[in-house]
């Protein structure tokens, strides 16, 4: 019989054809036809993200349904591995979108983020609260000792089970609707918080009387605060920085109130007294009491040194302006002035030896001497911005991974420095190794027409720090993506980054990389000695402001009851409780404290101090051996980097060091013993 097609049917076929063509045009819907399967940045446009997110969620839902509907009894392969490798499209689009949302932001990207964030939260909850899926995983977990699993498989099973429990799998049915609502609200609020900080930072630019301008980006703001002799101007610019998002168009105070209370309520539903108890249950620290003890043990000697520094700067201010009282906007100015006088050293003397390229090459040289890695710049690979530099990382003739390094501020880029990944190392189900694609992002002052980008010494350490994170991702040698690379507890993840700072500051290593950008002359021994002598200078300020922020974080997230949180008043009470002197503020004031309200360091900012104990102790092993590049120790530390979260982290540390860490090396480094 001859088949006829109605006009309506023809229209539907035409629409289906258009949709299929549109999907074919979307670069996320096909394999990247690029070297090393790097994301095809040149073909990705904002209109591609939402269709890819929607399709990615649809596909993962189908994959989860297939696991649940499997008539066979649950096994490690058909349940745990099937779940581990589900959602690949969603992972691909998420890694590209959210990384670029931080360094290539735009109103269009913000609109997508606002739309997709609640959808992703609901999708994640659909999986985490899927009772049938959890029942299958629990069945496998309960049988784990009889399955003949190797240690990495056992770790994956344990971490997967624990992840579901922490994600709400045991939440009673009558509370699940509220649990989902909490997750969605928290996700939306954290996104708004970050957007407000970026907008507030970009909104300020102060034209200076002598020409030029100062912004709130640290590479311009901090040098200004260190060198501006005009006290009234310093005060104005300091307030612009320190009072961001405290009221006004980009106010974050009410958002903080909501986030803190919603996170506490969610923790209660999960069976924890506080949000901090919930977070720390999955860390090395384990309890808030352990964190407070760690921080307060260092707080006392640090505050003592900070008060000594304050007295020095007060005398200097009094000499300049009799009767004036030292204020936070004076601290950096007089600290720098005293440093120049005391150590006969200033940034203008240091920076010429620390060009960005020299410091980067120094970090590469350390990785070469420790691990045999080499770095080949590639200008032919896809990139998301012309400022981002791309390196092929090699071990001998074999490619280990791809490293993007994005160094300079842009209006589209959030402040700070971080490492992330476009793709993490793992192996596919058929055993193929998937190489990592790692990104390091910083905000160093741009080069000028006649000068390269010149770093101060703190910025040099920042580059080494983020590069240490990159090595953790690049050297990963794991099977399963969720426990590979940097997917380790928050208070362990900073060890690979912070330990690299020790090489950066060591005189022997400085002689390798610090060269004058004009003459090529190696840094003089006298200047190295000045830098080394100044290493303990200012540690009272730097340590107390860091500890203050860490204790403020813990105070927010150890609240046990619903209450109105006024961040300004709360922060003031928190600082008074620990006796922080008024001339110093928390490293981050609450309304722009992105670490604890947006980027995953909630009840975790202490980890920088916790891990500093580990990194100082770890580097002490190399120093004690008499060889900063001791091959045996480098091999042991590489094993730690390669292992991801496949082994309990402290087991990895003890295997490297042969003992538990001691805080003595850290206090010695800070000059506080």
Q: How far apart are CA 126 and CA 119, in angstroms?
A: 10
CB 372 within 8 A of CB 366: no
Q: How far apart are CA 122 and CA 13, in angstroms?
A: 32
Q: How far apart are CA 357 and CA 231, in angstroms?
A: 35
Hunting for tokens 């997230």 — which residue is that? 557
Q: How far apart are CA 537 and CA 335, in angstroms?
A: 9
First to last CA, the chain: 95
Token output for 530: 């000045």
Contacts of 637 (CB under 8 A, 6+ apart): 370, 499, 618, 656
- Looking at the DSSP bridge assignments, the partners of residue 389 are 405
Angle between helices 253-269 and 567-578 (to 10 degrees): 70
Active site residues: 466
Alpha-carbon distances of 414 from 100, 195, 420, rounded to whole Å: 10, 9, 14
- Looking at the DSSP bridge assignments, the partners of residue 376 are 392
* φ, ψ (nearest 5 deg) of residue 456: -85, 180
Contacts of 103 (CB under 8 A, 6+ apart): 384, 385, 406, 410, 412, 413, 414, 441
Q: How far apart are CA 475 and CA 483, in angstroms?
A: 14
CA angle 574, 576, 580 (to 5 degrees): 100
CB 367 within 8 A of CB 378: no
Q: DSSP letters along 445-510, please?
A: PPP-SS---B--HHHHHHHHHHHHHHHHHHT---SSGGGSTT-S-HHHHTHHHHHHHHHHH-HHHH
Question: Phi/psi zone of residue 394: left (φ > 0), alpha (ψ -120 to 50 degrees), beta?
Answer: beta
Q: How far apart are CA 330 and CA 229, in angstroms?
A: 10
Token output for 488: 């380790």
Q: Which helix (H) or strand (E) holds 356?
A: helix 356-371
- Looking at the DSSP bridge assignments, the partners of residue 404 are 390, 439
């Amino acid at each position: 019989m001859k088949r006829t097609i109605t006009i309506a049917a023809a229209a539907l076929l035409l629409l289906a054809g258009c949709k299929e063509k549109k999907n074919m045009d979307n670069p996320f819907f096909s394999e990247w036809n690029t070297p090393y399967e790097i994301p095809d940045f040149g073909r990705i446009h904002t209109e591609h993200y939402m269709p890819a997110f929607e399709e990615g969620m649809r596909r993962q839902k189908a994959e989860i349904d297939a696991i649940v509907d499997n008539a066979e009894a649950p096994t490690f392969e058909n349940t745990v591995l099937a779940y581990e490798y589900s959602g690949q499209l969603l992972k691909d689009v998420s890694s590209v979108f959210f990384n670029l949302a931080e360094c290539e932001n735009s109103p269009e990207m913000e609109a997508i983020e606002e739309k997709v964030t609640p959808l992703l939260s609901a999708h994640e909850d659909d999986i985490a609260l899927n009772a049938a899926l959890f029942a299958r995983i629990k069945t496998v977990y309960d049988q784990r000792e009889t399955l003949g699993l190797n240690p990495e498989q056992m770790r994956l099973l344990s971490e997967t089970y624990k992840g579901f429990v922490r994600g709400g799998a045991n939440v009673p049915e009558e509370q699940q609707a509220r649990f989902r609502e909490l997750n969605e609200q928290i996700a939306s609020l954290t996104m708004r918080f970050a957007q407000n900080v970026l907008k507030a930072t970009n909104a300020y630019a102060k034209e200076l009387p002598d020409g030029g301008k100062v912004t709130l980006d640290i590479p311009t703001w901090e040098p200004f605060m260190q060198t501006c002799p005009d006290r009234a101007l310093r005060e104005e610019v300091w307030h612009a920085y320190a009072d961001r998002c405290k009221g006004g168009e980009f106010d974050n105070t009410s958002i903080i109130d909501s986030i803190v209370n919603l996170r506490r309520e969610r923790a209660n539903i999960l069976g924890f007294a506080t949000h901090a108890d919930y977070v720390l249950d999955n860390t090395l620290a384990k309890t808030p009491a352990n964190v407070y003890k760690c921080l307060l043990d260092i707080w006392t000697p640090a505050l003592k040194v900070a008060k000594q520094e304050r007295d020095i700067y007060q005398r200097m201010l009094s000499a300049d302006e009799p009767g004036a009282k030292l204020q936070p906007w004076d601290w950096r100015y007089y600290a720098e002035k005293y440093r120049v006088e005391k150590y006969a050293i200033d940034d203008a003397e240091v920076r010429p030896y620390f060009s960005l390229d020299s410091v980067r090459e120094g970090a590469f040289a350390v990785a070469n001497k420790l691990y045999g890695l080499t770095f080949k710049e590639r200008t032919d690979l896809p990139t998301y911005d012309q400022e981002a530099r791309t390196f092929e990382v090699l071990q001998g003739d074999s490619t280990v991974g791809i490293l993007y390094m994005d160094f300079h501020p842009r209006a589209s880029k959030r402040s700070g420095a971080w490492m992330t990944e476009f793709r993490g190392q793992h192996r596919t189900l058929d055993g193929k190794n998937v190489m990592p694609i790692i990104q390091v992002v910083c905000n160093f002052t741009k080069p000028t027409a006649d000068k390269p980008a010149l770093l101060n010494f703190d910025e040099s350490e920042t580059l080494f720090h983020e590069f240490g994170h990159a090595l953790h991702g690049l050297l990963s040698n794991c099977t399963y993506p969720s426990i590979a690379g940097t997917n380790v507890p928050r208070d362990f993840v900073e060890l690979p980054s912070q330990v690299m700072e020790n090489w950066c500051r060591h005189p022997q290593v400085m002689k390798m990389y610090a060269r004058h950008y004009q003459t090529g002359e190696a840094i003089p021994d006298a200047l190295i000695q000045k830098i080394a002598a100044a290493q303990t200078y200012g540690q009272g300020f730097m340590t107390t402001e860091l500890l203050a922020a860490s204790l403020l974080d813990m105070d927010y997230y150890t609240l046990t009851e619903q209450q109105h949180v006024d961040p300004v008043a709360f922060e003031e009470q928190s600082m008074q409780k620990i006796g922080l002197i008024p001339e110093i503020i928390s490293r981050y004031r609450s309304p722009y404290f992105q670490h604890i309200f947006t980027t995953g360091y909630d009840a975790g900012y202490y980890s920088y101090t916790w891990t500093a104990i580990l990194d100082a102790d770890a580097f002490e092993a190399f120093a004690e051996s008499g060889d900063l590049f001791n091959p045996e120790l480098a091999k042991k530390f590489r094993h730690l980097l390669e292992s991801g979260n496949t082994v309990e982290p402290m087991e990895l540390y003890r295997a490297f060091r042969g003992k538990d860490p001691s805080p003595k090396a850290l206090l010695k480094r800070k000059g506080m013993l």
